[in-house]
Amino acid sequence: MRYKHSISGIKRAIFKEKYIFQREEEKRILKKLLSTVCQKTTVLEFGVSTGDTLKIINDLTINKEIEVHGYDSFQGFDLENLTKDDKRVYEQIFSDLKGNKDWKKPFKYGWKRWFRDLDKHTHVHKMWINKENLKTLKYPHPIGFIHLDVDAYHQLWMLLNDFIKTFW
């Protein structure tokens, strides 16, 4: 029994170390990419979730004339508008998680509490990522960088096919 607990602890430590390494690597890559972004520009993130990447972007763009906007529904998947392929992927993801479909739980206590530490140049918007909502977006500066981290293929396709064509 004691052996089982130590194996469990080792697994948690390995997972934590791997996660920290991935975050550091993501930060290094974002730093390099954002160093090419001009002043007086806009940076966008679609698919904010808990804001890990948005917080990195926020920290890397402080004291620059860069405006950052992050978008997410903070409600998980838009199940009503999933394509057939997205539904199949969604079902596969949650069957891999041993039937745990409680993907809304992190948002249960309010998404705004995660973003209290963001600088005033970073704005978080709660909205579904769809064509109607994207048509309403306007920015004072040109878009210099977009980070896409959406969960559904149809959202990614729409962003690449419609939104980016409109703004770039």
What pLDDT sits at residue 98?
A: 47
pLDDT band at 140 (very low <50, low <70, confident <90, very high): confident
Q: How far apart are CA 45 and CA 116, in angstroms?
A: 17
Q: How far apart are CA 68 and CA 42, in angstroms?
A: 6
The more confident residue out of 6 and 137 is 137
Average pLDDT, rounded, for the chain: 77
pLDDT band at 25 (very low <50, low <70, confident <90, very high): confident
User: DSSP for 40-99?
Assistant: SEEEEEE--TT-HHHHHHHHHHTTSSEEEEEEE-SSS--GGG--HHHHHHHHHHHHHTTT
pLDDT at 15 over 90: no
Q: How far apart are CA 63 and CA 78, in angstroms?
A: 36
Q: How far apart are CA 161 and CA 119, in angstroms?
A: 31
